[in-house]
Structure 1
Amino acid sequence: MKRNILDYLVISLKGVAMGAADVVPGVSGGTIAFISGIYEELVDSISRINLQAFKLLFSKGLGAFWKHINGSFFLALLSGIGLSILSLAKGMKWLLETHPIMVWSFFFGLMIASIYFLTKEIERWNLASVVVMLLSGVAAYIITAIPPLVNGTEQPLIFILFCGALAICAMILPGVSGAFVLVLLGAYHTILDALSSWQWKVIFTFAIGAVIGILSFSRGLKWLFAHFRNLTFAGLTGFIIGSLNKIWPWKMALEIDPANGSVVWEKSVSPCAFKELTHCEPQIPTAIILAVVGFLLIYSIEYIAGKTKK
């Protein structure tokens, strides 16, 4: 496909939209790629980064390699994604620190809508799909309720590498949020801090993990969707339902890091209990409005995606 500078500028703008989506837990960059009409090309280009591509690199040079992997498309798209993520990270960090209830309420609405659309992808409701959904839901809830194995101030680089590999797989799937995976792993704040304060060691480690993930895990996920699509969607749906505990807006701190005062471990409480325990206003009306806005945002995006598909 022959493209000019304007075509690549449009691809970069689509990358900006994908990057903005990937910063927010609940919004999938893959969904934005699907709506904007570049999803199939993105998946196809990723699949071209294989052994044959590297054989071309060493036998015929960089030009042949670049053409084989659709390198210009990648460069334009990734430039937009990177610019968007780096621009929004500082603002998102500030919002989480100053208005946590409002932010998590909005995210909660996003996830409820994501669950709704994921259930629609389950074409056959049978015993196997129900069992997989229940097991993945229970597993996710347990993960969100137990004390974190790695807290925000002591996350080793190998853990950041793993987070990058896992999050990128979610980012390229429509309906699944990579940022939410980071929230679940307890690395969302760490990555936001790194992006907003230019911690290059963390950023590069995360990026290397993303490259590893997109070249390896993504092929495994593609195989699962090809051979066990129904059960895979059932498992994803159950996992996100069980994980709602992680983004519940009203929390009580159970463990605080003495080094910087950040919350290491917390549990969900009711809005009334939140007021009694923290002596802070639960902001229930605002929280409900923002949750509804979040739900409607995802509903609109998925509705447009459905129309595009048809």
Structure 2
Amino acid sequence: MHIFLRGMAVGVTESVPGVSGSTVAIILGIYNQLLYSLSLLTTPRRKEALPFLFVFGIGMVCGFGMSIYIVDYFLHNFQAPTLMFFAGVVLGFLPDLWKETISHTAFKIKWKYWGILVFSCLLVVFSQFLVDVKVLDVEQLSIVTCIFLIAAGFLASSALVLPGMSGALILTILGTYEVAVQSLKSMNLPVVLAVGSGVILGVLVMSRFIQFLLKRYPLGTYLAIIGLLSGSVFAIIYSIEDQVGIASLGFIIIGIIVVTTLTKTKIKVSEL
């Protein structure tokens, strides 16, 4: 049940532009198991991962299906406080992740590693300015359009394994977010299958890549993750269109308190 519920939480955030599903997976302490299980799918040991991924996948699908309507309601009626809460959740988790990061080195962190942190943060920040550069029309679904949708799904799938990266935001940047959501609601199977196949392919490839980086370059990978998470705070706040009042700002504090409480009660992130 706890795997199912955490899958639901990740599924909910996958529908919110600017919020990374893998960020939530880390906060809930399931990121390591998820990444490892996904990396096994392309190996002879894939059967070991199926029980976990099956339960997690069902939860994620249920959460995503609910969020299309529930989170969409909150984002349209209470956008600022909702996104501020997500920003607070990320901020509240960063100190705990930093402690985990420095445990991977007995020496002072070199400048090149700080460069990795800054670069990954700026990567997320500057990507926000590309939003709405393209609007996709799928009335006449051509082969070229299908290839583009598959590529969009592939890039968006990185959000499941790369903390700080938002799949919904990537689809928004590519002009396919509204198309994907509306196609899912109306069960436009050609579009759903095109984007979905790209997501599956991307997850299989990216999971092994990130697993490799964590094993070979743990310190640099951890710092890159911190940079991505830090940049995602800007991504979340930047996407707010409503006026941000004092009450909305208070939801950042609520988000920080929620994560801090989870950490203190040991319902927290496991080692990456």
TM-score (norm 1): 0.65
Q: Identical aligned pairs, as a percentage? A: 18
Aligned partner (choices 66, 80, 84) of residue 101 of structure 1:
80
Q: How does 1:118-157 map to 2 (within 5 A)?
A: 118-123=97-102, 124=105, 125-146=109-130, 148-151=132-135, 156-157=145-146
Change (3 A) 1:78 1:103: same
Q: How does 1:81-96 map to 2 (within 5 A)?
A: 81-96=60-75
Q: How does 1:6-21 map to 2 (within 5 A)?
A: 12-13=4-5, 15-20=7-12
Aligned partner (choices 212, 220, 241) of residue 201 of structure 2:
212
Task: Quote the Cα distance in structure 2 between the aligned partners of 1:162 and 1:249.
Answer: 25
Matching residue's letter, 1:293: I
Give ranges in structure 2 of 5+ residues lacking alignment.
139-144
**SS of residue paired to 1:290:** helix
Contact 2:184 2:192 in 1 (8 A): yes
Please tell me whether residue 182 in structure 1 is matched to residue 155 in structure 2.
no
Structure with the larger RCO, 1 or 2 (CA within 8 Å, 6+ apart) = 2
Change (3 A) 1:128 1:106: same
- Equivalent pairs counted in the alignment come to 254
Matching residue's letter, 1:50: T
Change (3 A) 1:158 1:148: farther
| Residue equivalent to 2:25 | 30
Shift of 1:172: 4.7
Deviations 1:230-268 (A, max 9, x none): 11121222233334333226767xxxxxxxxxxxxxxxx
Give ranges in structure 1 of 5+ residues lacking alignment.
1-8, 54-64, 253-279
| Residue equivalent to 1:275 | none
Aligned partner (choices 113, 116, 138) of residue 92 of structure 2:
113
Deviations 1:6-36 (A, max 9, x none): xxx675455434434544525645337636x
TM-score (norm 2): 0.73
- After alignment, is 233-242 or 297-306 more displaced? 297-306
**SS of residue paired to 1:149:** coil
Shift of 1:86: 0.8
Query: What is the root-mean-square deviation in Å for CA atoms of aligned residues?
Result: 3.6
Task: Quote the Cα distance in structure 1 between the aligned partners of 2:12 and 2:3.
Answer: 14
Contact 1:26 1:110 in 2 (8 A): no
**SS of residue paired to 1:248:** helix
